[in-house]
Amino acid sequence: MARDRGSAETYAGPVRRLLTGVVLVVLIGLFLLWRIDSPRAERLRAEVVDAVVPSLDWAMVPVSKAARMIENARSYARIHEQNQELRRELRQMSAWREAALQLEQQNAKLLDLNNVRIDPKLTFVTGVVLADSGSPFRQSALLNVGARDGIRDGWATTDGLGLVGRISGVGRNSSRVLLLTDPESRVPVTIQPSGQDAVLSGDNTRLPLIDFVEVPEAVKPGDRVISSGDGGVFPAGLLVGQVAVGPDGRQRLRLAADYERLEFLRVLRSSPRETIRAPGHLIAPETPPLAEATDG
């Protein structure tokens, strides 16, 4: 043993120990920086991800496509059953479609009579899911659209039917969607028809929790849940899902979006609305020189 220690490694001992110390201090320092100034560190993360993942697309796409094909092939086994089920559902849907058309016409007429102006139509950018979070404890998806396509932090993301999450972290060519099931996701929602406001908080299970309901008795399983637009980040009225009761007896949400096959996601462009700060002020697009002049 003593002879082993007497070899070349010993001379490098102090240098090696110093190097180890420096590396550890740098890494822990980075962790502290992340804890103190999370947005800046997350921007660094977004940039690293942006540099690495899209450039390795060629390796990942064939594998994930193959995996999806295997999964699809498995579902062919019960294709007859599925076909029957779909026919049944289609019959129900056509009845609903009829009802929806009538309601839409009625609604348009009523809105016209009242001269109501609803939110301007939302436009969207569609992105392909490149990667997921890679960790079983976090739920997010990486899209192939980023700052280059005008994506901004906080925008809502849907799968065409229901809300999926919001943008959290934008790189040049990629952006990360924080899914509603992520432990850090909090989204203000409204429960219809009782009209109660609640907060939808993810907890890394398939059914996120419905929190802060004022009168929980008024909420029944099956009630529709839509985004409320509180906080001004999300557009109001996006379908999120239905109330369900979880195995633990708490009110949870069955998501309308199909989380099992998220391949393409729509990012909804939302522009910040004018805010009314005080009565009697002019609501107009601010012009910088004018604003400075009034301030000074």
User: What is the binding site for another protein (CB under 8 A)?
Assistant: 1, 3-5, 7-8, 16, 19-20, 23-24, 26-31, 34-35, 41, 44-45, 48-49, 52-53, 56, 59-60, 63-64, 67-68, 71, 129-142, 179, 181-184, 202, 204-206, 259-260, 262-263
Residue 224 CA to residue 42 CA, distance in Å, equals 34
Distance of closest approach, residue 51 Cβ to another protein, in angstroms = 10
Which residue in the block uniquely carries the two structure tokens 């993360």?
A: 45
Residues, the chain, total? 296
Q: In this complex, which beta carbon is closest to another protein, that of residue 72 or of residue 105?
A: 72
Distance of closest approach, residue 28 Cβ to another protein, in angstroms = 5
Q: In this complex, which beta carbon is closest to another protein, that of residue 25 or of residue 93?
A: 25
Residue 145 CA to residue 64 CA, distance in Å, equals 19
Distance of closest approach, residue 231 Cβ to another protein, in angstroms = 20
Residue 109 · residue 230 · CB < 8 Å: no
Q: In this complex, which beta carbon is closest to another protein, that of residue 71 or of residue 197?
A: 71
Residue 237 CA to residue 114 CA, distance in Å, equals 20
Residue 159 · residue 265 · CB < 8 Å: yes
Q: In this complex, which beta carbon is closest to another protein, that of residue 17 or of residue 109?
A: 17
Q: In this complex, which beta carbon is closest to another protein, that of residue 26 or of residue 86?
A: 26
Structure tokens of 183?
A: 């432990």
Question: CA geometry: angle at 206 spanning 100 and 54, to 5°?
Answer: 95
Asked if the peptide bond before residue 193 counts as cis, ω within 30 degrees of 0, the response is yes
Distance of closest approach, residue 247 Cβ to another protein, in angstroms = 11
Distance of closest approach, residue 32 Cβ to another protein, in angstroms = 8
